[in-house]
Amino acid sequence: MVRLKSGFNGERAIVIPQLIIKIMEKDPLISMLHITDIGYYPKASHHFRERKTPINQYVFIYCVDGSGWFRSGENEYNVSANQYSILPAGIPHAYAANPDDPWTIYWIHFKGVLAPHYAQKVAHPVDIKPEIHSRISNRIALFEEIFNTLKAGYSNENLHYASSLFHYYLGSLKYIQQYRNAGAKEADDSNVVDIAIHYMKENIEKHLTLQEISEHLGYSASHFSMLFRKKTGHSPLSYFNLLKIQQACFILDSTDMKINQVCYKIGIEDSYYFSRLFHKIMGISPKEYRKKQKG
């Protein structure tokens, strides 16, 4: 049975039993790289963890919003949005959310023969900034696939598949330029709206302002809004909300996440506002939508 932890509002986490970890450590393929714990903490106020006694796992922390800090041995770093780090195994560490701007993080504890290889040179915060060729939304979808595979159970096939996906996931970070180049498209002034939509999708878990979007593209807010509305028929922020609800529909269709978990995944902290926005766009509530899709 999969053990799910509970704590922060919207949190999801899986702790893999020691019995299963021992099985993975004996498997010739999975022993190369395997996950022991995995989770997602949105707006994790008061999140703090200190381990004075070192653990034998590497700790991957990917901050997508907000900020925090971590200490590994004698080194301490501030962490901001769009940064990741891998805390080395065997060294005392501590980490916490910024109380004034709590982080939203994806995190994974992992082990294996190849774990040190993926952890090289990332014991400090490394940037993953959204840009024209970034593929952040793809990587987040990959995390969800790993999570859902493990949540489905610990069959040999699930464990092997999750381990294979995790190789790819870490590879997309270690070889980030190759990962971006593989999905790169040429850009020019004629497709500024397409670039803007890509940027919105890369930041689907955040609350973006019109100013932030237009500045990213190098346009004034008014000129960008005119170009965007002319091509799409919507204002930029209205379109961003459409993308958020589209993503919410996908999550409701493909997972069993609770409504309060879904709203955090699209950057809306207030579940009541999320339900009102969902109803305005889709004509029914999130609960009714899920029931209809599965009915």
Strand partners, 55: none
Q: What average pLDDT does the structure give for the chain?
A: 92
Strand partners, 104: 65
Banded pLDDT at 216 (limits 50, 70, 90): confident
Q: What is the pLDDT of residue 292?
A: 84
Give the pLDDT confidence score for residue 190 in this predicted structure.
Answer: 65
* pLDDT per position as a tens digit, 28-43: 999 999 999 999 999 9
Domains and CATH numbers, the chain: 3-182 (2.60.120.280), 189-294 (1.10.10.60)
If you average pLDDT over residues 45-67, what whole number do you get? Answer: 95
Q: What is the pLDDT of residues 99-154, one digit of tens each?
A: 999 999 999 999 999 999 999 999 999 999 888 888 999 999 999 999 999 999 99
The answer to whether 129 and 81 are in contact (CB under 8 A) is no
Is the pLDDT at 2 greater than 50? The verdict is: no
Over residues 78-85, the mean pLDDT reads 96
Phi then psi for residue 94, to 5 deg, are: -150, 150
Residue 293 has pLDDT above 80, yes or no: no
